[in-house]
Each structure stands twice: as C-alpha cells, then as structure tokens.
C-alpha cells in the first residue's frame, strides 16, 4: 500500500474517481459527491503523489471535498489490494446482482432500515413484504424518506440495516453503526463502499456490497462527463463479501 502512487483524481458532478498505480497495474476508487455538503468548500490545493500519504493527510480534513478525495483514494488502494494483489481470495466472495442478493439476504426479516435513499433496494425489500424505514441526508434525494437525524429518535431498531457507503464521506458512519449496533445484519452498500474488507470488519460491518471497476478509463470518462452510478455500472461488476464467516472458511471457488 505504501508504494502505490496517485495517478489521477477527478471530482465530477456526482462522483469522485481516484486512480492509483502499483507494480501490479492500476486500480480505480470511487466516492459519492453530495453537492449540498461540498459546494461551499475549496478544492484541494494539492494531493501528495504517494497514495498512503494523501489518504493520511486528507481523511481527517473538515473540508468535505478533501474527505471525498480521501475516500476515493482509500477505495482505490482497497480495490488494488483486493483484485490486483488477489486478496479477495481470503474472503467469502459472492459475485451476484447486488440488489437481488441483498433482498434475498433479508428475506426472513420483518423490518429493515435503509440509510441513504437507494430506490432500487428499497423497492426490492418492499416487494418482499419487508417493512422499510428510509433515511436520507440530502433534501434533494429525500423523496418521501425521513431526514437522517430521525435515526436518533427511532422507537425500535430493525433486524437489518442497509447503509450507503456515502456515510464514509460525510463522517456519519460511526454514529450510524453505534445507533444500529443491535441489528442482526449490517450491510454497507454502493460504489463508495469499496473499502477493504478488513476495514469494514473493524467498523462492525457484516456484509460489504460494492462494485469492481472493470474498465477504468471508461468509468473515469463517464464520471468526468457528470455520470452517476447507473451510468458507469456497465463498466463494473457487482460483488458481495460476506464478513460473517471466518476467513479460514472463505469461498475458495469464487473467482473475480
């Protein structure tokens, strides 16, 4: 990790993309850009050429654009370790349609909470008769969901929590996980959830569901042109890593 270099960073309208390079090639990390959180901040004045140094310098910044870049870089390094260095072999990897897998994982639950108004996931859960509470930070994306501060006033904690990776960017992940610590399953979801599984385990995440970027250049170009998750998804593969199993029992037959 410490030898990886930053090759390119681009902050688009909806996502930030960061490319790192190492002895085993390039990897791309993504992070959600919330316009309302970010528009008042100045862009980073500079980004260190070493990926590790850049992450350490930016990740605790109060400047939201710098935090966005730090998470994109953290995800880029994580993706490099997972796929370029083949560390995925140490975990139970499931390559599946992300939405269908999550809905199936929740099939026996009666109640779920979705932190971040992820419409397709919400619809899939409701179609299976699950009672869903939806929280959303951005008023532009709320569309009938509750504001995220409603998390603090919930009467009861549901069985399943599905949490957007964007909570890593806005710094609410610790508060969310603390409030939902009694949930049976906590799932971190989305392009911004591309962190290394060991980081997810340390946070208390049970299942990690994200995207592996297959075509780095096409994805970067899409983000440069203002594209979002459903625009660059065709250049990526869904993957799910189940962290509830011991690493010694990982799925040896799964291939990326």
Q: What are the pLDDT digits (tens) for 90-104? A: 999 987 788 888 888
Q: Looking at the domain assignment, is residue 156 inside a domain?
A: yes
Do residues 182 and 147 both lie within one domain?
yes
Mean pLDDT of 157-171: 96
Is the pLDDT confidence value at 254 over 50? Answer: no
Last residue of a domain, one of 88, 117, 136: 88
Return the structure tokens found at 132: 């869903």
Highest mean pLDDT of the ranges 96-100, 103-107, 169-173: 169-173
Residue of 41 and 252 predicted with greater confidence: 41
Return the structure tokens found at 160: 């399943």
Do residues 40 and 61 both lie within one domain?
yes
Is the pLDDT confidence value at 249 over 90? Answer: no
Check: CB of residue 113 under 8 Å from CB of residue 162. Answer: yes
Residue 53 bridge partners (DSSP):
none
Do residues 202 and 121 both lie within one domain?
yes
What's the angle, vertex CA 210, arms to CA 2 and CA 253, rounded to 5? 85
Last residue of a domain, one of 61, 88, 115: 88
As a whole number of angstroms, the distance between CA 166 and CA 9 comes to: 18
User: What domain range is 66 assigned to?
Assistant: 5-88
Check: CB of residue 194 under 8 Å from CB of residue 29. Answer: yes
Nearest to 74 by CA among 162, 165, 12, 164: 165
Do residues 49 and 172 both lie within one domain?
no
Mean pLDDT of 221-249: 88
Mean pLDDT of the chain: 92
CATH code for the domain in which residue 170 is found:
3.40.50.11590
Nearest to 4 by CA among 196, 164, 190: 196
State the pLDDT confidence band at 78, using cuts at 50, 70 and 90: very high
State the pLDDT confidence band at 245, using cuts at 50, 70 and 90: confident
User: How remote is the C-alpha of 205 from its chain's centroid?
Assistant: 12
Return the structure tokens found at 158: 């549901």
Q: Looking at the domain assignment, is residue 162 inside a domain?
A: yes
Return the structure tokens found at 20: 């790192």
The total number of structural domains that make up the chain? 2
Is the pLDDT confidence value at 191 over 70? Answer: yes
Q: Looking at the domain assignment, is residue 107 inside a domain?
A: yes
CA dihedral 82, 86, 92, 94 (to 10 degrees): 80
Q: Looking at the domain assignment, is residue 254 inside a domain?
A: no
Is the pLDDT confidence value at 63 over 90? Answer: yes
- Residue-level pLDDT at 1: 65
Last residue of a domain, one of 88, 105, 120: 88
- Residue-level pLDDT at 98: 83
User: How remote is the C-alpha of 62 from its chain's centroid?
Assistant: 20
Is the pLDDT confidence value at 255 over 80? Answer: no
Is the pLDDT confidence value at 248 over 80? Answer: no
Do residues 127 and 175 both lie within one domain?
yes
Is the pLDDT confidence value at 250 over 60? Answer: no
Q: Looking at the domain assignment, is residue 256 inside a domain?
A: no
Q: Looking at the domain assignment, is residue 255 inside a domain?
A: no
């Amino acid at each position: 990790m410490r030898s990886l270099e930053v090759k390119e960073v681009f902050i688009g309208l909806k996502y930030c993309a960061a490319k790192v390079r190492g002895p085993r090639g390039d990897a791309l990390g993504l992070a959600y850009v919330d316009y309302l959180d970010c528009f008042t901040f100045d862009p980073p004045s500079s980004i260190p050429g070493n990926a590790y140094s850049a992450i350490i310098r930016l990740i605790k910044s109060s400047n939201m654009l710098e935090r966005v870049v730090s998470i994109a870089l953290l995800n880029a390094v994580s993706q490099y370790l997972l796929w370029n260095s083949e560390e995925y072999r140490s975990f139970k990897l499931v390559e599946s349609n992300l939405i269908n897998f999550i809905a199936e994982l929740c099939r026996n639950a009666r109640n779920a909470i979705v932190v971040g108004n992820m419409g397709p996931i919400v619809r899939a859960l409701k179609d299976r008769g699950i009672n869903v509470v939806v929280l959303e930070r951005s008023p532009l994306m709320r569309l009938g969901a509750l504001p995220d501060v409603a998390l603090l006033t919930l009467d009861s904690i549901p069985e399943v929590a599905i949490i957007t990776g964007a909570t890593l960017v806005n710094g609410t992940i610790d508060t969310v996980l603390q409030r939902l610590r009694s949930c049976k399953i906590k799932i971190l979801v989305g392009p911004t959830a591309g962190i290394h599984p060991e980081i997810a385990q340390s946070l208390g995440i049970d299942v990690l569901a994200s995207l592996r970027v297959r075509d780095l250049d096409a994805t970067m170009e899409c983000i440069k042109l203002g594209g979002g998750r459903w625009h660059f998804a065709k250049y990526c593969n869904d993957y799910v890593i189940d962290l509830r199993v011991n690493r010694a029992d990982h799925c040896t037959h799964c291939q990326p």
